[in-house]
Amino acid sequence: MKRIAIVGPGAIGGTLTTWLSQNPQHDLTVAARSIFETLTLEMPDGAVITARPRILTNPDQAAAVDWVLVTTKAYDVAGTVSWLKKLVGPQTHVAIIQNGVEHVERFAPHVPVEQLLPVMIDCPAERQAPGRIRQRGPGRMVVPNGAIAAEFVSLFAHSPLTVTPDSDFKTQVWKKLCVNSAGALSAVLLKPAVIARHEGVADIMRAIIQECIAVGRAEGAQLDDSIADQVISGYRAAPPDSMNSLHADRAAGRPMETDARNGVIVRLGRKHGIATPINQMIVALLEAAS
């Protein structure tokens, strides 16, 4: 029996918990802020699966487990850490399943680095209410190669979610940051993916991504110049009304992952002496708007 705790049962945490529950060898605990009884996951084909994990709302109720999956938003570190203090023992592995490129840096002050596993996830999902999740497309995760990674892969063997170990994880997360950083324009304009079809907006997206590429390369990622045009083509090919999570969060008046998606480019740019004026402007606009 594997004891697994999921901290933050939102869109991603709810999706992963429901799929993990398909394996009877998993003993699942959910660390939640908003209470619910049953997790309901609507799959891309409209089918529905449910799960009844143990649900805790107070860290004092928690005890150490084999695996912790952190699926809170990148800005919720403080609230997450109060759970980690109880859920993490010397043998616990902690998977950080969030956007951005600083998975390990965010939690290194709180968990020994050798127990941490950064995870990049692509899995379009939205939370319709506490415990009610809609998965809009297939889910895939990428992890760095290693022994912990192999065990993480095995957790999802009973699910349709794929987990791929990659020897160049850094490049994978920076490629995703190229996509996410450009998406900030939707949050600024409060308009969905269709804005990429406007030539002037596409030029600004290209500039955001070029700054991301320059800083990512300085950090050691292998990023080709052609990524900028590929990302813009991707936004143009997406359904015109596709809304990214930064846009959705701003539209709903929720906090935004601006720092994890654009602020990080500015901060790490400064470290390497690389100017990032367009990302700096985006961060200022979104901070002023929120």
Ligand X SMILES: NC(=O)c1ccc[n+]([C@@H]2O[C@H](COP(=O)([O-])OP(=O)(O)OC[C@H]3O[C@@H](n4cnc5c(N)ncnc54)[C@H](OP(=O)(O)O)[C@@H]3O)[C@@H](O)[C@H]2O)c1
Regarding 121 and contact with ligand X (CB under 6 A), the answer is yes
d(CA 189, CA 201): 10
In the bound state with ligand X, the residue whose beta carbon lies nearer, of 94 and 125, is 125
Residue 13: exposed, middle, or buried by beta-carbon count in 10 A (0-12, 13-18, 19+)? buried
Binding mask 45-74 for ligand X (x = CB under 6 A): --------------------------xxxx
Reduced 3-state DSSP string for 70-121: ECCCCCCHHHHHHHHHHHCCCCCEEEEECCCCCHHHHHCCCCCHHHEEEEEE
Amino acid at residue number 26? H
Tokens (6 digits) for 88? 């993490």
Cβ atoms 29, 51 nearer than 8 A: no
CA Rg value for the chain: 19
Name which of residues 224 to 253 contact ligand X (CB under 6 A): 245
184 touches ligand X (CB under 6 A) = no
- How many angstroms from the chain centroid is the CA of residue 267? 19
Of the candidates 177, 188, 208, 195, which has an alpha carbon nearest to the alpha carbon of residue 251? 188
Name residue 63's beta-bridge partners.
Answer: none
**Segment lying near ligand X (by CB under 6 A), choices 32-40, 41-49, 84-92, 146-154:** 32-40
For position 33 contacting ligand X by CB under 6 A, the verdict is yes
> Is 32 an interacting residue with respect to ligand X (CB under 6 A)?
yes
Residue 84 interacts with ligand X (CB under 6 A): yes or no: no
Which window, 44-52, 123-131, 199-207, 270-278, contacts ligand X (CB under 6 A)? 123-131
Is residue 12 part of the contact set for ligand X (CB under 6 A)? yes
Tokens in use for 51? Answer: 């799960």
Cβ proximity to ligand X, 221 vs 260, nearer residue: 260
AA letter at 215 = V
Catalytic-labelled residue, pool 73, 86, 175, 176: 176
The residue within the footprint of ligand X, chosen from 127, 140, 170, 267 (CB under 6 A), is 127
Is 165 an interacting residue with respect to ligand X (CB under 6 A)?
A: no
Contact call for residue 7 and ligand X (CB under 6 A) = yes
Q: Is 191 a catalytic residue?
A: no
- From the list 41, 125, 148, 173, which residue makes contact with ligand X (rule: CB under 6 A)? 125
Active-site residue set: 176
Residues in contact with ligand X by the rule CB under 6 A: 7-13, 31-34, 71-74, 76, 79-80, 83, 98-99, 121, 123-125, 127, 130, 245, 257
